[in-house]
Structure 1
Amino acid sequence: MAYRNFLPGPRATHLVIALGGVALGWAIYMRYALVEQSAIGLACRGMETSTCETRALVISLYGYSVFGIAAIVTSLIQLVRPSVPMFIVALMATAIGVVMYNNNLSSLAAGLLLISFARPWRAARA
């Protein structure tokens, strides 16, 4: 039984692009609008708004390299068992990790995602 390599179809590709763009946009917004702004950090010292709590959560997650670890774990799962939903999750985690200072693990995860295109895909039989 021959299998073809993992390659999402046209509809799945549009979904991958859209959700990858959303994750990348969220990460860019969080980094440049909330995390790096010193004025936001000073304003959040005495306040407990949802923006300040989100900023504190992102900073604490960065401290434990959660974005990079999530990217590498989901990319490894994608490499072992390719599927479109796992590819989308892994791509989103990788995009967030690259932007949110977890570059080492997230760049390794991006490489694993590229390698996953060479894996046989059970969902699409030739």
Structure 2
Amino acid sequence: MNSSPESHQGPRSLFRPGPHTLNWLIPLGMGALGWALYMRYMVVQPTLVALACEAGLESASCYARSAILILTHLYLFGAIALAVAAIQFIAPSLSAFAMGMVFAGFALVFQNEIAGALATMLLILSFARPGPATA
């Protein structure tokens, strides 16, 4: 007789988001990537915006620009992406996958490519892990 736990319950299925979940994961990822690209190429990098913000212009885009520059300088987008992707790899869940996907996109766009690429790799590898137990 086989008394292993898998013989009674069967093998756990792999982590796979369903079609309804993908209906909100895809726009979430595209929206995060679109926002990051907009912020980088329309707010952070243009010289005129940088000169205006450094001259003392007080606007929401200048505050967002300074916050993004601080977060990029401290490599926080990549660190968060890598930490959440490691959690997702160890114990897959939809919330960890969504957060890891968003911050990996931020890290890739905001010049933290190595941590963003490693986080993306861990997110892809999490599809080979057993998913959460369902009754």
Classify the TM-score, shorter chain: over 0.9
- Distance, in Å, in 2 between the alignment partners of 1:113 and 1:43 is 39
The total of aligned residue pairs comes to 125
1:69 aligns with 2:108: no
Unaligned runs of 5+ in 2: 1-8
Higher relative CO (Cα under 8 Å, sequence separation at least 6) belongs to 1
The CA deviation at 1:50 is 1.4
SS at match of 2:57: coil
Counterpart position of 2:31: 22
- Distance, in Å, in 1 between the alignment partners of 2:125 and 2:84 is 13
For normalisation by structure 1, the TM-score amounts to: 0.95
- When Rg is computed on C-alpha atoms for both structures, the one with the higher figure is 2
Corresponding residue to 2:128 among 118, 121, 125: 118
Counterpart position of 1:37: 46
Structure 1 runs of 4+ aligned residues shifted over 2 Å read 122-125
- Distance, in Å, in 2 between the alignment partners of 1:39 and 1:122 is 49
Unaligned runs of 5+ in 1: none
What RMSD, in angstroms, separates the aligned Cα atoms of the two structures? 1.1
Corresponding residue to 1:13 among 16, 22, 42: 22
Corresponding residue to 1:57 among 67, 71, 75: 67
- Distance, in Å, in 1 between the alignment partners of 2:106 and 2:25 is 14
For normalisation by structure 2, the TM-score amounts to: 0.89
- Distance, in Å, in 1 between the alignment partners of 2:87 and 2:36 is 23
